[in-house]
Amino acid sequence: MKTYRVAVVGATGAVGREMLKTLEDRDFPAHEVVPMASKRSAGNTVPFKGQELTVVELTEDSFEGFDLALFSAGGSTSEKFAPLAAKAGCVVVDNSSAWRMDDACPLVVPEVNAHDLEWHKGIIANPNCSTIQMVVALKPLHDVARIKRVVVSTYQAVSGTGHKAIVELENQVRRLMSGHEVTPEVYPYQIAFNCLPQIDVFLDNDYTKEEMKMVNETKKIMGDESIRVTATTVRVPVFYGHSEAVNVEFANAISAKEARVILSQAPGIKVLDNPKEKIYPMPLIAAGEDDTFVGRIRDDDTQPNTLNMWIVADNIRKGAALNAVQIAEALAERGLMRVP
Q: Could you list the active site residues?
A: 129, 242
What is the spatial distance between Cα 188 and Cα 199, in angstroms, rounded to a whole number?
10
What is the spatial distance between Cα 27 and Cα 329, in angstroms, rounded to a whole number?
10
Secondary structure (3-state) at 337: coil
What is the spatial distance between Cα 56 and Cα 95, in angstroms, rounded to a whole number?
20
The DSSP result for 270-317, as a single string, is EE--BGGGTB---HHHHTT-SSEEEEEEEE-TTSTTEEEEEEEE-TTI
Pairing verdict, β 228-235 and 45-48: unpaired
Q: Are 313 and 239 in contact (CB under 8 A)?
A: no
What is the spatial distance between Cα 330 and Cα 124, in angstroms, rounded to a whole number?
12
Containing H/E element for 170? helix 163-177
Q: What's the CA dihedral at 304, 243, 116, 337 to 10 degrees?
A: -160
